[in-house]
């Protein structure tokens, strides 16, 4: 009788695990999965809700915990900065990642955030793999997880974009993989390994980008369902590189460089999740005695958003397809790890502005300007007044970098900088301008001032900063971008689901920096060494 009871109990336990029920006795989550949706505005959670499936965003909202008012606490709101902040709990002033790229005075050239000339590409013959996290000055939550158990945990980053894979994974990551658009493959660098694992080679041998690009991109649902979008063909929308028409169906047959164009399709989202599943299966993530971590970033939403804008049919269709991919991935995790045995969080690195042309069409103030033309105008003004040639070295990330080889006299430099501030304040698209090292004493309103301070790094930032009027961007007549402090760029979704996370939501203001602090508390490990976030206590059981 006792033997039968034991057998029955074992069978019941097995059924509970296979059906996805929570193992309450689990001492720790088996796997932490972070999913960052590049350029996802917070309102997308609800804007397309009527067309979402039951198991994607709706599942996360109804069965998980939503931080409804999560903001980026710094500017500029760019991809590299966002991914760094999420996984370090830090800000550019501390972690050193002030933008996707910045002007480097020592070399007189732009520095890309993950450039590393000391490493080489692994997986292709291009230079796309000469990347590492060495420009990041602080640890990530993945670094701290590995440090907490003498490097027994596995940490892996996956994204189409190098910076969205490398920076989240951290310095001590087991691996980071990104997409080489010149080869149509997943690659890495010698920072991590000397050769790709067999399973990654097998993924590349499937040639999924070729398969996806052999068919057209049609809308997932009938066109009449897309009531949240403008008509399909608008003059202010861009087009996929190499495409003949910017409208549905998007035909890829005439595109020569299909691998680069692939980034601009929702099929690259499926491709990224497929790679994530392969990593979990082959690296046995979540299969050991310690917690592992997988950092996933979805990049196609950013390429599509920049090109077509938030009000496009393309953007709506991309999010409807993303929702299905998320549902499929969550179902996979339940079967693989057991529901409740993993921590899943979903957020974004930044939002995006509506296309200025669309806003103007509806009498909403908006506009564009040209940063290159601004640099030329500033140099012309300085040459005319002081006879200094090329005194402005660069205008990057809403900052002006001075050429100190041209102006070596400190008094002259102060005069020139003050003149630049005065010039900028008179520009019709500029809301305010200031000397960056004097932000704290400038007449800038809160909370903009604090975000500017958080974004200023004396070793990498320019000498003069400015921010635009709402809905003004540097760009052309098509598409849109991001980078500002405004809610359309800085208000992001933050959803938590899984291990010891209770359903619910909070409307109090939380910040991107709080993500790593909260993960550290849940995992009972040290916060990253540059973390300034606070624990979101409401979400934990």
Secondary structure of 130-155 in HEC code, one letter for each residue: CECCCCCCCCCHHHHHHHHCCCCCCE
CA 201/CA 194 separation, integer angstroms:
13
387-404 in b/e form (b: 16+ CB < 10 A) is: ebeebbbbbbbbbbbbbe
Helix (H, G, I), strand (E, B) or coil at 230: coil
**Distances in whole angstroms, Cα of residue 406 to Cα of each of 129, 185, 390:** 35, 45, 7
Nearest to 368 by CA among 305, 313, 310, 427: 427
Please report, in angstroms and rounded to a whole number, the separation of the first and last CA atoms in the chain. Answer: 38
Largest CA distance in the chain: 99
Whether residue 138 contacts residue 100, with contact meaning beta carbons closer than 8 Å, is answered with no
Nearest to 312 by CA among 349, 267, 266: 266
CB atoms within 10 A of CB 247: 16
Q: Which residues 6+ apart lie within 8 Å of 400 measured at CB? A: 375, 378, 392, 394, 420, 424, 462, 463, 464, 465, 466
Give the model's pLDDT for residue 6.
Answer: 43
CA 179/CA 200 separation, integer angstroms:
12
CA 427/CA 12 separation, integer angstroms:
71
| Residue that is written with structure tokens 């002033």 in the block | 93
Distance of CA 42 to the CA centre of its chain: 14
Give the model's pLDDT for residue 19.
Answer: 36
Residue 539 is given by DSSP the state G
In order along its 541 residues, the chain shows pLDDT tens digits of: 444 444 444 444 444 443 334 444 578 999 999 999 999 999 999 999 999 999 999 999 999 999 999 999 999 999 999 999 999 999 999 999 999 999 999 999 999 999 999 999 999 999 999 999 999 999 999 999 999 999 999 999 999 999 999 999 999 999 999 999 999 999 999 999 999 999 999 999 999 999 999 999 999 999 999 999 999 989 999 999 999 888 999 999 889 999 999 999 999 999 999 999 999 999 999 999 999 999 999 999 999 999 999 999 999 999 999 999 999 999 999 999 999 999 999 999 999 999 999 999 999 999 999 999 999 999 999 999 999 999 999 999 999 999 999 998 999 999 999 999 999 999 999 999 999 999 999 999 999 999 999 999 999 999 999 999 999 999 999 999 999 999 999 999 999 999 999 999 999 999 999 999 999 999 999 999 999 999 999 999 8
CA 420/CA 407 separation, integer angstroms:
14
Model confidence, pTM: 0.95
CA 107/CA 533 separation, integer angstroms:
34
| Tokens (6 digits) for 166 | 């490398």
Residue 490 is given by DSSP the state H
| Tokens (6 digits) for 195 | 């050769």
Kind of pairing, strands 504-511 and 65-71? parallel
Distance of CA 192 to the CA centre of its chain: 21
Strand boundaries in 170-266, DSSP class E: 175-180, 185-189
SS (H, E, C) 266-293: CHHHHHHHHHHHHHHHHHCCCCCCCCEE
Helix (H, G, I), strand (E, B) or coil at 391: coil
**Catalytic residue among 79, 265, 270, 301, which?**
79
CA 308/CA 236 separation, integer angstroms:
8
Give the model's pLDDT for residue 244.
Answer: 85
Kind of pairing, strands 472-474 and 109-112? unpaired
Give the model's pLDDT for residue 245.
Answer: 84
Helix (H, G, I), strand (E, B) or coil at 299: coil
Give the model's pLDDT for residue 524.
Answer: 97
CA 173/CA 482 separation, integer angstroms:
29
Calculate Rg over the CA atoms of the chain: 24
CA 538/CA 259 separation, integer angstroms:
44
Helix (H, G, I), strand (E, B) or coil at 110: strand
178: left (phi over 0), alpha (psi -120 to 50) or beta: beta
**Distances in whole angstroms, Cα of residue 213 to Cα of each of 191, 210, 245, 252, 324:** 31, 5, 16, 6, 20
| Residue that is written with structure tokens 């899943």 in the block | 344
CA 259/CA 272 separation, integer angstroms:
14
Active site residue 79: yes
**Distances in whole angstroms, Cα of residue 244 to Cα of each of 156, 235, 266:** 38, 14, 18
Give the model's pLDDT for residue 254.
Answer: 86
Residue 388 parent element (H or E): none
Backbone angles phi, psi at 227, to 5 degrees: -80, -10
């Amino acid at each position: 009788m006792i033997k039968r009871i034991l057998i029955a109990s074992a069978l019941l336990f097995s059924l509970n695990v296979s059906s996805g029920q929570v193992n309450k006795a689990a001492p720790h989550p088996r796997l932490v999965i972070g999913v960052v949706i590049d350029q996802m505005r917070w309102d997308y959670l609800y804007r397309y809700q009527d067309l979402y499936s039951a198991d994607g965003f709706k599942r996360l909202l109804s069965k998980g915990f939503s931080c409804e008012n999560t903001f980026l606490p710094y500017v500029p709101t760019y991809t590299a900065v966002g991914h760094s902040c999420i996984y370090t709990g830090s800000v550019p002033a501390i972690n050193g990642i002030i933008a996707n790229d910045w002007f480097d005075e020592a070399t007189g050239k732009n520095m890309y955030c993950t450039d590393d000339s000391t490493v080489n590409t692994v997986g292709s013959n291009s230079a796309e793999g000469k990347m590492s996290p060495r420009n990041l000055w602080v640890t990530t939550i993945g670094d701290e997880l590995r440090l907490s158990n003498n490097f027994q945990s596995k940490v892996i980053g996956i994204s189409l974009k190098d910076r969205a894979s490398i920076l989240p994974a951290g310095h001590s990551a087991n691996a980071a993989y990104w997409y080489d658009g010149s080869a149509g493959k997943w690659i890495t660098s010698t920072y991590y390994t000397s050769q790709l694992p067999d399973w990654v080679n097998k993924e590349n041998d499937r040639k999924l980008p070729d398969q996806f690009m052999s068919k057209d991109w049609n809308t997932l649902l009938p066109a009449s369902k897309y009531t949240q979008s403008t008509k399909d063909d608008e003059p202010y929308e861009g087009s996929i590189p190499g495409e003949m028409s910017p409208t549905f169906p998007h035909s890829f047959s005439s595109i020569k460089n299909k691998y680069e164009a692939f980034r601009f399709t929702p099929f690259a989202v499926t491709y990224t999740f497929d790679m994530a599943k392969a990593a979990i299966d082959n690296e046995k993530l979540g299969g050991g005695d310690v917690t592992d971590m997988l950092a996933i970033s979805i990049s196609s939403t950013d390429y599509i958003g920049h090109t077509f804008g938030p009000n496009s049919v393309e953007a709506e269709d991309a999010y409807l397809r993303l929702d299905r991919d998320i549902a499929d991935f969550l179902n996979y995790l339940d079967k693989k790890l057991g529901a409740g045995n993993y921590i899943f969080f979903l957020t974004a690195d930044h939002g995006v502005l509506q296309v200025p042309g669309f806003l103007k069409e509806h009498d909403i103030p908006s506009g564009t300007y040209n940063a290159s033309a601004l640099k030329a105008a500033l140099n012309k003004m300085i040459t005319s007044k002081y006879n200094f040639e090329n005194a402005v070295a660069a205008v990057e990330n809403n900052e002006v970098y001075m050429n100190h080889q041209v102006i070596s006299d400190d008094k002259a430099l102060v005069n020139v900088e003050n003149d630049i501030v005065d010039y900028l304040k008179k520009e019709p698209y500029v809301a305010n301008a200031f000397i960056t090292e004097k932000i704290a004493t400038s007449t800038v309103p809160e909370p903009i001032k604090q975000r500017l301070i958080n974004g200023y790094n004396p070793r990498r930032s320019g000498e003069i900063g400015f921010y635009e009027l709402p809905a003004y961007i540097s760009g052309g007549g098509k598409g849109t971008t991001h980078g500002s402090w405004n809610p359309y760029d800085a208000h992001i979704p933050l959803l938590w689901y899984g291990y010891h996370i209770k359903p619910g939501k909070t409307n109090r203001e939380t910040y991107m920096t709080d993500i790593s602090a909260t993960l550290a508390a849940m995992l009972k490990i040290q916060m990253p060494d540059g973390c300034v976030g606070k624990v979101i206590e409401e979400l934990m059981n």
